[in-house]
Structure 1
């Protein structure tokens, strides 16, 4: 049984999530509902909480201000949000769970099942608190996602995006190639990382390849556009993406020169 609290400033959102959980998630015990971070902190001090459904945009303290409290108590967090694209990117980059409003029943059930599995001793997520802190850091500066949490089979590996040379698609997997570490294969499609990574630094050059412009050494168009990376690899740019690549390189070179 999961002890759950709901944190949301909107009465309709609180009540609708409460009834969705009551009707569809039999292993959930709702031990409290809060309309602010301050109320949520009181609940965390009065009952043992396994899982927090946490709204992001709230007046006063926003939902992210509760992250240190959740981390210290090893409570899992599922963020609920209707907007804020940067926050959503940061949550995805930290490999944390979220539900978009209005909340879909099937997605809610899947998120609760995942929380149940990871809260059990057998499947405990040892990196959850670390990923919450990474998220907090990303949101404090909002200058672009600088770290990714990549599932490694036993947990998660925290990666600085500047370490990434390129990412290649392998069916429904993404293979990360790094500057000074072994490659990591992740069971997420390339498009997910295309949406998360800073678009002034990373460019998708082919349906199966994203490159970090920091590692671009040169490019030429003798036999179609081809890149030479600093590690010696040569990669072709698809004809459809060539103009996008050229524009990105121009902007990247300009911004790098200004630093």
Structure 2
């Protein structure tokens, strides 16, 4: 049984989420409900909380301002939000869970199941804390995503996007090939990372491949358009993505030379 709190300034959102959890998630005990970050802080002090369902856009302090205390209490956070695209990108980049309002029952069950697994494993808490800290930095600076957190089955690996050479799809998994030779497999589809990573640096060249243009060594059309990366990987560019790829490379090389 997981002790959870709900934090949301809207009465309907609080009551509807409470009802959905009561009806669909037998392993969740709601130990408190708060309508502000200040009330949530009190609940965290008074209770041993495993899981926080946290709204983002609230008057006064927003949900992100509770992150520090969530780290201290080692509570897992699931954001519940209808928030802007930048925040969603930052949340995804840090492998944190979120539910878009109105909340879908199946997505709620899946998020709770994932949270239960993470909490029961209780591994790599420092990696989780680092992910939360990176999220705070992303949101406070409002810059491009420069680090992403990858859940590797036992914990979290926080990596610089500049260390990603390419990403390869494998069914519902994505395999990251890193500059140090390491490979990390995560249980997310390639499209999620296509949406997160900066468009000026990363490009999807095939339904199963995203490449980092920093590692592009050459490309040729001997046997259909093919890229060769600095680590020696050779990857085909699909016909329908070829013109977009060539244009992106032109823009990238022009931008790169302008900054030298």
Q: What's the TM-score once normalised by structure 1's chain length?
A: 0.91
CA apart distance, 1:211: 0.5
Tell me, in whole angstroms, the C-alpha distance in 2 between the residues paired with 1:143 and 1:244: 25
Tell me, in whole angstroms, the C-alpha distance in 1 between the residues paired with 2:112 and 2:171: 28
Tell me, in whole angstroms, the C-alpha distance in 2 between the residues paired with 1:33 and 1:149: 29
Alignment check: 8 A CA contact 2:205 2:241 kept: yes
- 1:133 is paired with a residue whose SS is helix
Deviates more, 1:57-66 or 1:180-189: 180-189
The CA deviation string for residues 82-109 of structure 1, in whole angstroms up to 9 with x for no partner, is 1311211221121111111101122222
Quote the residue 2:105 is aligned against.
105
Alignment check: 8 A CA contact 2:202 2:213 kept: yes
Deviates more, 1:244-253 or 1:159-168: 244-253
- 1:31 is paired with a residue whose SS is strand
CA apart distance, 1:216: 1.4
Quote the residue 1:170 is aligned against.
170
- 2:3 is paired with a residue whose SS is strand
Kindly indicate whether residue 52 of structure 2 is the aligned counterpart of residue 52 of structure 1. Answer: yes
Alignment check: 8 A CA contact 2:166 2:210 kept: yes
Structure 1 alignment gaps of length 5 or more = none
Quote the residue 2:122 is aligned against.
124
**5 Å matches for 1:193-204?**
193-204=193-204
- 1:83 is paired with a residue whose SS is coil
Quote the residue 2:81 is aligned against.
81
Give the superposed CA RMSD: 1.8
- 1:9 is paired with a residue whose SS is coil
Kindly indicate whether residue 244 of structure 2 is the aligned counterpart of residue 244 of structure 1. Answer: yes
**5 Å matches for 1:110-189?**
110-120=110-120, 123-126=121-124, 127-189=127-189
CA apart distance, 1:125: 4.0
Alignment check: 8 A CA contact 2:128 2:155 kept: no
Deviates more, 1:53-62 or 1:129-138: 129-138
Tell me, in whole angstroms, the C-alpha distance in 1 between the residues paired with 2:12 and 2:208: 43
- Paired residues in the alignment total 257
Structure 2 alignment gaps of length 5 or more = none
- 1:243 is paired with a residue whose SS is helix
Q: What's the TM-score once normalised by structure 2's chain length?
A: 0.91
Quote the residue 1:10 is aligned against.
10
